[in-house]
Structure 1
Amino acid sequence: MAELLLELFSEEIPARMQAKAEADLKAAVESGLSEAGVAFERITALSGPRRLTVCVEGLPAKSADVKEERKGPKVGAPEKAVEGFLRGAGLNSIDEAEVRSDPKKGDFYVAVREVPGRPLPDIIAEMVPDIVRSFHWPKSMRWGRGELRWVRPLQRVLCIFDGKVVDFEIDGLKSGNETEGHRVHGRGPFKVSSFDEYKTLLESKGSVILSREDRRLLIDEQAHVICHERGLELVEDKGLLEEVTGLAEWPVVILGDMDPDFLSLPGEVIQLSMRTHQKYFAVRDPKTGDLAPHFVVVANIDATDGGKAIAEGNSRVLSARLDDARFFWDNDRKTPLATMAEKLKTIDFKKELGTVADKVERVAALARELAPKVGADPDVAERAARLAKADLVSGMVGEFPELQGVMGGYYAREQGEDEAVATAIAEHYKPVGPSDQVPSEPVSIAVALADKLDTLVGFWAIDEKPTGSKDPFALRRAALGVVRIILENEVRLGLLGLFAKHAMNFAPVFRHVDLLEFFADRLKQYLRDAGARYDLIDAVFALGEDDLVLIVKRVEALGAFLETDDGANLLAGYKRAANILKAEEKKDGKAYEGTPDPALFEQDEERSLAAAITESVTSAEAALAGEDFEKAMGALSSLRAPVDAFFDAVTVNAESAELRQNRLLILTSIRDALHRVADFSKLAA
């Protein structure tokens, strides 16, 4: 078995594009080989700042032989039909065709042709240029006079099969067996004949760590070690770690120093300046948890002075960045938030929804309304909402949009606002991701909910909803944020009434149920991530409940109930009753609604089931009124035995029409009883 080694070597590939390009190239090679009928044992893909690499192991020397069959006319068909078949199949005589029989159509001719497999080098020589020419990058470029597009100018294509070069050309660039190492430390170019040699020589001669995972682990380990040696602690940042992994082929971690005077800036400003502009990791003092006047930078060179000059140079650059940030910090604090808020009238939120100032008015009114429901002071909640968006016109947020809200919180504290107001301003965009914490203080909850609900109701009012994968206004995230805030703080809200009242700010016609269904989808996502079954959520939502806390309690109780023998068997009994009802209602052209007549009960099982339904429904309704869903499920579980006994002993479709109708109404009673806690028709058996 042979090996294919492919390397596409170019100028620097943006770090954010490398991982996907690696996966896309792997998929393209897999697909190309599969389409050619070539099986293999293993495929490995790698990526780095200047190269994409694929190694395919366990390849045959040629593709598999293929037997092609072409069906022809019936035996005894007109001569012209036979002649046309022979020409199309490439046969000289009908004697070269096989005769096959079909029980219905009789005997017919079949042309069988053996197509020999193609040598793998021929397949690869066609496949690789096609992959390169059709490869998709988020952004690509052309260079020179050629038509080829690549993320950065493509400089080499290394392609080796079974130790030999696979010859082809892509826009004037010929394939070969040479690669290059590190721009500074690497010696080369050098020739290779296998993946093992390629990997070994790149590291030993080229100063290139080929594996993305190896580079990531090395950076992470070195960063922690260098901080530990100085009694410091690295501020973890997985996103930044992934990015710097794509910036260095030979990563060397260096600890740099920062002017301690900059520690007077908010920590978020320092970290964002380091991360966004310079790709530095922040460092903290483990004793206090505060940022320390140092940073960690990942160099792509092993400096002879141990990185001293690199550290000093990066320190100077960081100082310039932080000087700019300090200017914004000092300047912004001269302007009261209330004054900043007045400028929101000049910023459009959405043409159909008015300015940001208009949104602030709506959010302030809604936050005031929500405040008593979450235990917040209405005046404080309204004050926080009126100042929440003010920092959008600040210099700092103009430079670092990611700090919206956060800076407003700092400015509010500086200006003597209530701590609850400052915290609410800082947190009102939260949660911004699945791992982000939700606001937990009453005022913060009121403002965060009001802001997100206003956005959702507004966009629904103008009929701009997410479609497919498109969600330009992050409405799914906003709805999931509302779900999380409500559930994690156990906030009791009737959403439909809230939608209807707030929609009056936008449009006279508004589909509240449509928006509730959108929330249902987000709730399903949230609960599925927590391990709940999607059908349980559908079953509970079908009741029309709009209190998310109650919905989740029902879902949890229903899930626990269905895991018991009584629950599982009762569900089976329900399904049987519902299926019979559905079939008979369809046949009779009418719905069976109402209560059965006890005078028509002929068997003890009918009487026992009817009595059990009455008793269990009474108990279940009392439990539901007290929001004791487990007790309600327990009350319904008493139906299991009488339902089983009924189906074992009673013939529903009796000969007497009157008796049959009465027994179908008993089935209706079973269905209606269980629908008091959930729509059991939505549950998987």
Structure 2
Amino acid sequence: MPDLLLELFSEEIPARMQARAREDLKALITDGLVEAGLTYASAGVFSTPRRLVLTVEGLTAESPTTREERKGPKADAPEKALAGFLRGLGIADAAPVMALAGQPSGAHVHLDGVVVEVRDDKKGQVFFARVTKPGRPAAEIVAEVVERTIRTFPWPKSMRWGDGQLRWVRPLHSILCLLTTEAGSDIVPVAVDHLTAGNTTEGHRFMAPGRFAVSSFDDYRAKLQRAHVILDSAEREAIIWNDATTAAFAQGMEVVEDKGLLAEVAGLVEWPVVLMGRIDEAFLGLPPEVLQTSMKEHQKFFSVRAPSGRIERFVTVANRTTADDGATILKGNQKVLSARLSDARFFWENDLRRVTAAGLEGMGAGLASVTFHNRLGSQAARVERIAALAETLAPQVGADAAEAAAAARVVKADLQSDMVGEFPELQGLMGRYYAKAAGLSDAVAEACQWHYSPLGPGDTVPTAPVTVAVALADKLDTLTGFWSIDERPTGSKDPFALRRAALGVIRLILGNGLRLPLGDLLRARLEAAQADDLLGFFHDRLKVHLRDAGIRHDVIDACLAMPGTDDLALLVARAEALGGFIASEEGTNLLQGFRRANNILTQAEAKDGVEYSFGADPKFAESDAERALFTALDTADGVLAPAIAAEDFAAAMAALAGLRAPIDAFFEAVQVNAENAIIRRNRLNLLHRIRAACAQVADLTKIAE
């Protein structure tokens, strides 16, 4: 069984595209091989800046021969019907087939590898075709699949060069394609425009120029290593991280971890060489986040942190070793870094002057000329709405109303700063620095930094009261604003990140145990129908959020049928208690008893045309099981209402659990539809009491069977 080695060698592939390209290459090739009838044992993909590589082990030597039978038209069908059938088989001449009409069943002809015969059928003679497709050698199939893959590869962006029509992310220089067996290796005859596959590749552009031949994947990988190319991106990442942390440790420092940057840098080099440099003293007064962001975005440098917390050094990764151990490379990088950090220092100092002169509100004055949305006004108008809502929310989250409103008026000010203009990812964080520089309180500064949070499912939920008030106001204003102009998420489209905003509100409420009347807040800003629709949107997002916590959708639906569903904390507490209860043996059995009671009662009400909701009288009970159920329901009713009022759902579930045995015993011993009309009516009213008791906790009819 041969092994396949494929290398597509090009100019530098952008690092951000390499991981996706590896997976696409693997999927396109292996899927194509399988569709053509080949199987394989395993496949692996690799990339460097200049190559995509696929290795497939244990490939079958040829595809199997396949046989297929197709039923055609009746022998006396119109000639056009027969011609169409034969055309689908690749047969142009219909005359030999037409001659079969009227001959004995089984008569046949051989045409272009296809056997066409006539058979007797219940409705007359019918043509059948037996198509045999002989297996094909793996090399032929691989050549077709590779060519198709190259021509249709789904690069996010691609280019043409020269006079050819081939598109690739960067100019494609060569194709290496081998099938290797114990007897040796053979070049697969792949041809794509001006490129023909061979058995040669290149090593490092500078340290090992020139082409060399390979005979297998192991040979290829070993020779690349000797030619200063580390094929596996994971191995390059490990080398970079190990050398960087070792160098930092030797100086009593640590490298700031950044997995995204590590993966990107590993995609920029084929032979990683770690170099550490110093940051000029003139720039050490910049906030560490500014240093880190500037070095990452502009130079792809790792930040090195001193024990004091200051970013004092950097790590860069060269793509080659040099005679001076990288001194020249490091000198050039430091020169460029100084220029970049000079810009950052200018932004920082200029922003501080503006804050000192006019305060943080002065910095944000320009938001009046920045449009938030053409139908929702300016950013300044939005800030005023957020401030008013934060002031309203403050008492409900334990914050000072005046401080929450003051914080809301400045949390967006840093959007007008030079620093955030250069590095948008620092918005919020720079607001904190500028708030402190303006002499504002710690609570306001913290709100500036964290009011965007939580941004995603794994993001930390703020807990400081002022921050919580502003964060809720920010997200609720976004949601109510877009709902008011009928701009809602549709399908997978959510251009304004409204699902994320709703999840942020949910996590702020649940994470801080807030008891907010969400419905009142929404109705104060929206028409009733819009508010109800937005509340439903919150409920849908809550289902998604709770699903990850193991709470089923039907459990939430059962709780949504109860009053107070705009209090998300109450809703979740009820759902958690109900979910735990129905997962228990008592809950499962009680649910079965409830369904039996509800089904009997529903059928009887439909038949009799009445609603059985009158009080059942124990004096008509005829058995101990019936009397015991009366007693159990009296006991449960005495507990349920106070427990629900006190929001003690655990006690309420325990009260329901006490009904399990009496309900089971009742159905075993008692026939509900008794012949005596009075007894029957009393027992149906008793079933209503079971339904009513359960309905105090949740609508159990929503629970899936």
Distance 1:274 1:488 in 2: 35
Question: Structure 1 pair 107/650, CA: closer, same or farther in 2 (3 Å)?
Answer: farther
Give, in angstroms, the shift of residue 618 of structure 1. Answer: 3.4
Task: Report if the CA contact (8 A) 2:621-2:627 is conserved.
Answer: yes
Question: Which of residues 522, 527, 530 in structure 1 aligns to 2:549?
Answer: 530
Q: Aligned AA for 1:343? A: G
Match of 2:113 in 1: none
Which amino acid counterpart does residue 481 of structure 1 have in structure 2? Answer: G
The superposition leaves residues 2-24 of structure 1 with CA deviations (integer Å, 9 ceiling, x where unpaired) of 11212222111111111111111
Is 1:636 matched with 2:648? no
2:638 aligned to 618, 629, 650, which one?
618
Aligned to 1:419: 442
How big is the shift at 1:360? 0.6
1:477 is aligned with what amino acid? R
Does 2:125 match 1:113? no
The 3 A distance-change label for structure 1 pair 675 and 133 is farther
Match of 2:494 among 454, 466, 471: 471
Distance between the aligned counterparts of 1:175 and 1:259, measured in 2?
A: 51
Structure 1 residue 300 and structure 2 residue 319: aligned? Answer: yes
CA radius of gyration, larger in: 2
Letter in 1 for 2:212: F
User: Structure 1 residues 270, 434: CA separation in 2 closer, same or farther (over 3 Å shift)?
Assistant: farther
Is it true that 1:378 corresponds to 2:397 in the alignment?
Answer: no
Q: Is the contact between residue 428 and residue 448 of structure 1 (CA under 8 Å) also seen in structure 2?
A: yes
Question: In structure 2, the residue corresponding to 1:349 is in which secondary structure?
Answer: strand
1:386 deviates by 0.6
Q: Deviations over 1:480-506 (max 9, x none)?
A: 221222222212212111111133xxx
Change (3 A) 1:659 1:4: farther
- Written as runs of structure 1 = structure 2, the 5 A alignment for 1:96-245 is 96=108, 110-162=128-180, 163-205=185-227, 207-245=228-266
Structure 2 CA distance for partners of 1:281 and 1:101, relative to 1, 3 Å:
farther
Choose the corresponding residue for 2:578, options 558, 566, 572.
Answer: 558
Distance of aligned partners of 1:486 and 1:190 in 2 relative to their CA distance in 1, 3 Å threshold: same
Give the aligned residue type for 2:401. P
* Residue 482 of structure 2 corresponds to residue 459 of structure 1: yes
Other structure's SS at 2:271 match? coil
Q: Which amino acid aligns with 2:203?
A: G
Task: Give the drift of 1:574.
Answer: 3.0
Q: 1:555 to 1:72 in 2, by over 3 A?
A: same
Q: Deviations over 1:264-320 (max 9, x none)?
A: 11121111101111111111123x3x1231011122212322222222222222211
CA distance in 2: counterparts of 1:589 and 1:324, whole angstroms: 84
Q: Once the two structures are superposed, what CA deviation does each residue of 1:337-387 show, in whole Å capped at 9, x if it has no partner?
A: 121222111000011111101111110000001111111110100000011
Counterpart of 1:261?
282
Return the alpha-carbon distance in structure 1 between the equivalents of residues 660 and 522 of structure 2: 40
Q: Deviations over 1:179-211 (max 9, x none)?
A: 222211234312222211121111122x11111
SS at match of 1:426: helix
Q: Counterpart of 2:514 in structure 1: which amino acid?
A: V
How has the CA–CA distance of structure 1 residues 664 and 250 changed in structure 2, closer, same or farther, with 3 Å as cutoff?
farther
1:472 Cα deviation from its structure 2 partner: 1.7
* Range with greater deviation from structure 2 (157-166 or 625-634): 157-166
Instruction: Label 1:165 to 1:358 Cα distance change in 2 as closer, same or farther (>3 A).
Output: same
Contact 2:360 2:410 in 1 (8 A): yes
SS at the partner of 2:275?
strand
Structure 1 length-normalised TM: 0.91
User: Which amino acid letter does the alignment assign opposite residue 260 of structure 1?
Assistant: E
Give 2:222's aligned amino acid.
Answer: T
Structure 2 residues without counterparts, runs of 5 or longer? 101-105, 109-115
From 107, 112, 116, the equivalent of 1:95 is: 107
How far the C-alpha of 1:611 sits from its partner, in A, is 4.2
Partner of 2:103: none
| Distance of aligned partners of 1:669 and 1:185 in 2 relative to their CA distance in 1, 3 Å threshold | farther
The residue that corresponds to 1:34 in the other structure is: 34
Name 2:6's counterpart in structure 1: 6
In structure 2, the CA distance between the partners of 1:655 and 1:214, relative to structure 1 (3 Å rule), is farther
The CA distance in 2 between the partners of 1:661 and 1:161, in whole Å, is 83
Q: Is this contact kept in 2: 1:181–1:189, CA < 8 A?
A: yes
**SS at structure 2 position matched to 1:387:** coil
Task: Pick closer, same or farther for the CA change 1:279–1:589 going to 2, 3 Å.
Answer: farther
How many pairs were matched up? 674
Equivalent-residue separation in structure 2 for 1:71 and 1:659 (angstroms): 69
**Equivalent-residue separation in structure 2 for 1:342 and 1:423 (angstroms):** 21
**Residue 171 of structure 1: CA displacement?**
2.5
| CA distance 1:429–1:144, shift in 2 (3 Å) | same
Q: Distance in 2 between matches of 1:234 and 1:448?
A: 32
Q: Is the CA contact (8 Å cut-off) linking 2:177 and 2:190 kept in structure 1?
A: no
1:679 aligned partner: 699
| Alpha-carbon spacing, 1:320–1:639, altered in 2? closer, same or farther (3 Å) | same
Alpha carbons 1:592, 1:668 under 8 Å: kept: no
* Residue 393 of structure 1 pairs with residue 419 of structure 2: no
Q: Partners in 2 of 1:166 and 1:665 — Cα distance?
A: 82
Aligned partner letter, 1:568: T
Q: Deviations over 1:642-663 (max 9, x none)?
A: 2222332334555677766665
656-665 vs 212-221, which moves further: 656-665
Deviates more, 1:593-602 or 1:368-377: 593-602
Task: Work out the CA distance in 1 between the residues paired with 2:62 and 2:314.
Answer: 55
Deviations 1:651-685 (A, max 9, x none): 45556777666655544443443233233333344
Residue 306 of structure 2 is matched in structure 1 by 285
Quick one: structure 1 residues 338 and 79, their matched pair in 2 at CA, closer, same or farther if it must change by over 3 Å?
A: closer
Q: Relative to 1, partners in 2 of residues 1:620 and 1:106: Cα closer, same or farther, differing over 3 Å?
A: farther
Q: Aligned letter for 2:107?
A: D
- Relative to structure 1, the CA distance from residue 655 to residue 109 in structure 2 (aligned partners, 3 Å threshold; closer, same or farther) is farther
Contact residue 73 and residue 82 of structure 1 kept, 8 A: no
TM-superposition CA deviations, 1:411-464 (whole Å, max 9, x none): 111111122111111211112233332222111111111001110111112121
Which secondary structure does the structure 1 equivalent of 2:291 belong to?
helix
Residue 312 of structure 1: aligned partner? 331
Q: Distance in 1 between matches of 2:265 and 2:189?
A: 35
CA contact (8 A) 2:254 2:304 kept: yes
1:82–1:142 CA distance, 2 compared to 1 (3 A): closer
2:66 matches 1:66: yes
- Say if 1:589 and 1:44 are closer, same or farther in 2 by CA, change over 3 A: farther
Mapping 1:528-677, distance limit 5 Å: 528-543=547-562, 545-578=565-598, 588=607, 592=611, 594-595=613-614, 597-598=616-617, 603-652=623-672, 663=683, 666-677=686-697
Given that residues 306 and 312 in structure 2 are in contact (C-alpha distance below 8 angstroms), is that contact kept between their aligned partners in structure 1?
no
| Pairwise CA distance, 1:633 | 0.8
- Secondary structure at 1:176's aligned position in 2? coil
8 Å contact from structure 1 (residues 219, 253) kept in 2: yes
Q: Once the two structures are superposed, what CA deviation does each residue of 1:308-336 show, in whole Å capped at 9, x if it has no partner?
A: 22222222222111111111111112222
User: In 1, are the aligned partners of 2:8 and 2:176 still within 8 Å (CA)?
Assistant: yes
Cα RMSD (Å): 2.9
CA contact (8 A) 1:461 1:510 kept: no
C-alpha separation in 2, matches of 1:429 and 1:579:
50
- Structure 1 contact 592–664 (Cα < 8 Å) conserved: no
Per-residue displacement from partner, 1:20-67 (whole Å, max 9, x unpaired)?
Answer: 111111111122122212221111122221221111111111112112
The residue number in structure 1 matching 2:539 is 520
Shift of 1:220: 1.8
Identify if the C-alpha distance between structure 1 residues 13 and 582 changes in structure 2 by more than 3 Å, giving closer, same or farther.
Answer: farther
Gap regions ≥5 residues in structure 1: none
Quick check: 1:405 aligned with 2:428? yes
- Paired residue type of 1:164: D
Letter aligned with residue 452 of structure 2: Y
Task: Tell whether the 8 Å contact from 1:592 to 1:665 is kept in structure 2 after alignment.
Answer: no
Matched residue type, 2:164: G
